[in-house]
Structures are given as C-alpha cells and as structure tokens.
Structure 1
C-alpha cells in the first residue's frame, strides 16, 4: 500500500474512533490526530504560529490543548516537521500528499497492535473489491499472524466503528465492502457478480486496475478492449467502474475511472481537500452572486484567486471577516483584522485554491445551488458523509460566542486581551 493511501486510512479511522469511547485503536488515533493537526497548522511555505493560535487550531480540530496537544507536538518535533520555541512554533511547508506520508510514518514508528494494521489492510482491500468475511478472516490470519480468536473480534470492531461496512448475504456469511463505493442494498448483487468471476476474468480486472492506478482515467473503448463488453458491463452495473462523459462542439467522449480513486475516503485529508475546495467555491460564489458591492463583492474571480494561490493577500473588506470562517477553522485561510470592521485574507493551502478555481472556471452549477441556500454566508461546511449521518441542532448563543472567541484566537492569537 502506498504510504499516502496508508496515511489517509489512518486519518479516516482516527476520526471514526474520535466519535466513540473506544481505546482499542490508540496508535491509529494518535497518528491520525498528528496528521489532522499537521494539516491545520501547515501551508505550502514555512509558517510561524504563536502558542495561542496553535491552541485555537487544535481546539477547532477537536484536539485537547492540555491533554493531547503536548504529545502531538513532541512527535511532530521528533519527525523534524516543526521547530518549537518558547512562545511559538515554526512549521515546514507541506503539501497534502506529504502530510499523509508523514502520518503513515508516525503510525509505523509508534508501537501498535497487529489488528490495527489489519483494519487498515482490510479497508483498502474492501475498497478495491468487496470481500466475504470468510476470506477476510483468512487474509488477516495469514498476513498479520493474528490468532483466530482475535481475527473475528478485529472484524467486528472494524464494522462497529464503521472502518468498513458489512451486510449479511447468507445465513453464515457477510460481505465486507466500502459503503462510499458500494451500497448496502446492492450487496447480494455485488457478491453474485464477484462470485461468478473466473480466474482469467480476475486477471483482466487486475490489469484494468493497474492501468487506472497509473493513469487515473482511460477512454471507455480502451477499458472495454481490456475487459470485453460483457465483463465491463458486469463491473459497471455494481459500481466497480465509473463512466464519465465530456462534451464539446465536436461531440461526446466517454472515460472510465475507478470510484475508489475519488470516494473511498469520506473524511480524510485526501477527500478533505475536495471538501475544503467545495467550501471555498461556495464562499467565493456567494461573494460573486449575492454579496453586496459595499461589503466586498467579488468581481474578478480569476485575478483574485491567482493572487491568493501565488501567496498574495486580498482585502481589506468587511465580508472577509464572516464569509470564510469554516475555512479559517481548518487552517485553509488566514484572516487578519485591519480595523473599522474590515479584514484581509491570505490563502495557506494553494492546492485547495487551485481546485476551487478550476471548479469555478469550468463548472456552472455552483452559483445556482448556492443562491438557493437560505443564508448562504458560509460560516460552516459539512462534508456529505456528515450531513447524511447527523442532523445537527441549531447553534445556541453560547456556542456562537464560543466560536467567536475561537476565531478571535485564531486571527490575532489573543493579542489585545
């Protein structure tokens, strides 16, 4: 498994553990929180953060400054990713990919139980191709040398914490799969298709996957040439391959991608970059379509975004102080008060800005969607999985005050208090 994929699974699983009282995956939890904090405090170039801002970013990412942050900082310093001073830390410039790779390294260098490796391995395998629990037990036992009594418990814990999904397909057997890629109601159909595959067809699927892993996307005709029409249609019917259409004045072109290339992580940094880009798109679109001229309406989006991506600062404007709070909490932008209720903004993660600009320049549905959102000022952004699983209550005034205080700490590090 590539280290960046390994790191992404660690962060994914750590977030799942964080919503429970489980302490069975302590090393995954620790490494995942290291990666999450590193993502929040780093940018594309070397940054310096004072301790007040560091504590605020930790809180914004559900890390306790008193009980968890010291050990995480010690580990990041051991990895030579930060330099700690008395009142501030210096953070290396890092990309999303390198953050994932460092997360993988931290986990590997942290003493951990073999079953923690096993749940990561099964998560990846089940994302490539659903697997029966019988085969999963065999794989775990053979690969990680775990006693049979622990193997079954490993699978049950993984399912219980939603590391992966399962569905009963017969009296004695379950199918283990990635619910972001395969729907539960299709489990029996998926199993029927997989069970019907013979050895030569299995080899053809491996060939196609290797091609897609190396290139990301290939023409539909090329995929059908590898698999044949019938096998391709089988895989397409159960969601193992996706077909996209690109149209222009010369007609339509069809391309094949793997769902796993985009959707197997629901809430990791790998997918987080896309989610944060969506939040930035929504905020910018609001600025282009709804915000008034007097509070800082965006008129030349390409110029503005290119300035941010290249490390420049935009503003001052009133709107900046309220329209980008979700991104500020995630360490994507830095908002600085300039007085008279006005603020400037600097982009800390160029990769997120590039994704957002690409969406704005090449797509035409975001503006329509945002206009229809009541109160489209973006102070919060929930990724798709979060909105599916939780129905959040409206914020109380106390929560709003707490959020305001947290933003003050992030922006000015408590200066003037």
Structure 2
C-alpha cells in the first residue's frame, strides 16, 4: 500500500474517533493511528503555498482545532514530531514556527510516515487493510476475515477489529455484507455501474439527485428534497453516493451536497483519488460560499450569482486580498482555523486571502462544472449575513443519521451492495 493511500485511511479513521471520550477503552486500539492522524490534521492546517512563519499563538489554535490538547507541552510534542520529519522548525523561545510543508498531499504522506515509524499494534494494521479491502468492493464477513487471515493476521484479531470498526462506524454492516462509506470516493466508475444497474422504481429519483448535484456542486438540501423523497436522499448519503456538509449558525443551519469525489471542469477520473480533499477543505470552502449565496441579504454583500462567486475564488487564487468588508473577519473564521485562508484587519473592516491555493483551485473547478450560469457581475465582496459557527463533515453526518432501513430503502441499499460485488 502506498503512503498516500495509507495516510488517507489513517486520517479517515481519525475523523471517526476524535470525538470519542478519551476514557473509552476502544481507543486503546487506535493509539498510533490517533497520534499520526491528529499530527497529520495539524500539519494540514499549517500547510501554506510557500515558506511561512506563523506565531505560536496561531499554531496553538491550529492544534486545538486538530483535537490536540493545546497545553504547551502537548503542542511542543507534536511540533517536535513534525520537526523530526523536516516539516517545521521553531525559534528557541517557541514564539514563532516556520512551515516547510507546501501541499495537503505532503501532509497525508507525512501522516503515513509517522504511523509506519511508530510501534504499531496488529489491530491498527488490520483496520487500515480492511478499510482498503471494503473500499475496493463490499465483502461478506467470512470473505474479509479469510482474506486478512491469509495475509498473516490472526482470526481472533480480525474479528475483534471488525467489531471495533462497526462500533466506530468505520465499516458498515448490512446483512453480513461489510462496506465503508468511501466506496464511491475517487471512483466515478463505481457510481455509474451501480446506478445504471439498479432495477428499482426509484432509479429515476437517484439519477435525478446525482445529476442535480453534478451540475451544481454544493447544492442546498431543499433544492433536492422539495420533490424527492428525503429517505432516498438519506440512503444515498449513508451509503456514500453523495456527501453532505452542514454549515451551522446562530440563525439555523443549512446542508449542502457534493459528489463524493472531486468533480469539476478540467478534472478527469484519472486525476482524482481517494486522497483528494480528504480534509474536506474544498467542500467546506464551497459550502461557506454557498451559505453566503443562500442565506445572506443583498444589502450586506450577498454572494448572489455564480459569476460573483467565481470573481471571489479567482481573486483568491491569484494570491490577492479581497476588498475589505465587515463580515470577512467573522464569516470565515472557520476557514481561518482550518488553515485555508488568512484574515487581517483593515481599519474597522477585514480582508481575506488564500493560504492554500490548491484548495481554491479545486473549488473553482467545481464551480465551473455547474451548468447554471448568470450574467450579473457584482464585484468581489464576500460576506455572509451571520457568522457560521460550525461545520458538520460528511463522516459525522453519516454517524448521526439513522435512515429507516426498511421497505424500499433497505431494498435499494441491498441492491446497490449486490451490484458492487458483481
């Protein structure tokens, strides 16, 4: 398994375990995974397009947002680990940190390096390899067990690992078929095969949802569920045919849907993989822009057209600061703590620029994939009516949702898994 693939599975596992109470005994099975995964997430926030010096106070914020206890000793431990791999350096007084990691791909591969160079329990290796196996094709339980035993793992350890994976939602179990939620990520061919072979009467609904999202990445939920059974949409999200990201704020929340793989103009299937946007940065940036498009008022600089949105993202991709506006300092704090943008004061207003251009380029390609166009050009003001206070990523949404797996929904799920196995 190459480093990019291994690092991706480590990071995907970390997303499922970071919110679990630290006293949970099951976490003992993921000690090295958690160390490497949290450090990798931390590094992904430090990533910049060029060598950059960051204040220690900002570094501590990045650490906190990476599920790392941000006391000085703990932060320094993770910085020392990254320094060992040549990704950061810091001054004697630890007031500034210099970053030498310039892409999210580098952060993913560094995650794999950290994991591989630690003492790893067999349970953790089983987790990674079983995720890869169930990503390639849904497996019957005995089939997966035999495959892993033939690779040298004990049957007892394999069965325990599967049980723990089920507990954390890493592997889904449906009538003795094991699959994972990333089955369609980075592989549109699987999606095409599955949808084209569905015999259910709801095939047209599924195709319609796929088409709407493909043509409008970051499509708000009510533009789908207004005329399509919400349980069908839940099923599609639960099995991984679509990804949902929820943006929360003081006035409520909104959910935006994208394809599970990065899709856009100029992106071909061979160009994207399971590792693309593993940190969800492009999807989160797009969802924040969509939130501004759907929820803000015109008087505050509403992002009301596709052209206006493209103006914003293209200016960011050119490395320019956006025109100062009141809301940027509030609205994009989520993106700032994710390391995607930098924000600076401009009098009593704020300006924003992009720290990670690769994220902006992906978003631009996703927007350009839209079939809907407009002629209005309202400039580059980027503000929202209120500050988004949080993001719920696809993995968390799937763990929270409990679709009614009865009747037609269960029938559709079982049929999709059968198609994938043939």
Sort the TM-score into its range (normalised by shorter chain): 0.5 to 0.7
**CA distance 1:268–1:23, shift in 2 (3 Å):** farther
| Deviation of 1:27 (Å) | 0.5
| Deviation of 1:73 (Å) | 1.0
The yes-or-no answer on 1:69 pairing with 2:95 is: no
Q: Which moved more, 1:274-283 or 1:87-96?
A: 274-283
Q: Is the 8 A contact 2:47 2:104 kept in 1?
A: no
Tell me which residue corresponds to 2:180: 178
Tell me which residue corresponds to 2:234: none
Q: Is the 8 A contact 1:334 1:346 kept in 2?
A: yes
Deviations along 1:298-349, one digit per CA (max 9) or x if unpaired, are 9854444223112221232112112212212211111112232x01111111
Deviations along 1:77-114, one digit per CA (max 9) or x if unpaired, are 00001112231111124222222111111111111112
Q: Is the 8 A contact 1:166 1:175 kept in 2?
A: yes
Count the aligned residue pairs: 327
Tell me which residue corresponds to 2:158: 151
Tell me which residue corresponds to 2:321: 313
| Deviation of 1:263 (Å) | 5.6
> 1: distance between equivalents of 2:51 and 2:400?
37
Aligned residue runs from structure 1 range 3-402, under 5 A:
3-20=3-20, 21=24, 22-66=27-71, 68-86=74-92, 87-143=95-151, 145-167=152-174, 169=175, 174-179=176-181, 181=183, 233=197, 262=260, 269-270=277-278, 272-282=280-290, 285=293, 290-292=297-299, 300-340=308-348, 342-363=349-370, 377-390=387-400
Could you say which structure has the larger radius of gyration?
1
**CA distance 1:33–1:82, shift in 2 (3 Å):** same
Richer in helix (by share): 1
> 1: distance between equivalents of 2:359 and 2:163?
36
Q: Is the 8 A contact 1:313 1:345 kept in 2?
A: yes
**CA distance 1:285–1:355, shift in 2 (3 Å):** farther
| Deviation of 1:40 (Å) | 0.9
| Deviation of 1:117 (Å) | 1.1
Q: TM-score, normalised by structure 2?
A: 0.66
| Deviation of 1:55 (Å) | 0.6
**CA distance 1:364–1:337, shift in 2 (3 Å):** farther
| CA RMSD between the two structures | 4.2
- In the alignment, structure 1 segments of 5+ residues that lack a partner are 183-211, 224-229, 248-257, 368-373, 392-417
Q: TM-score, normalised by structure 1?
A: 0.66
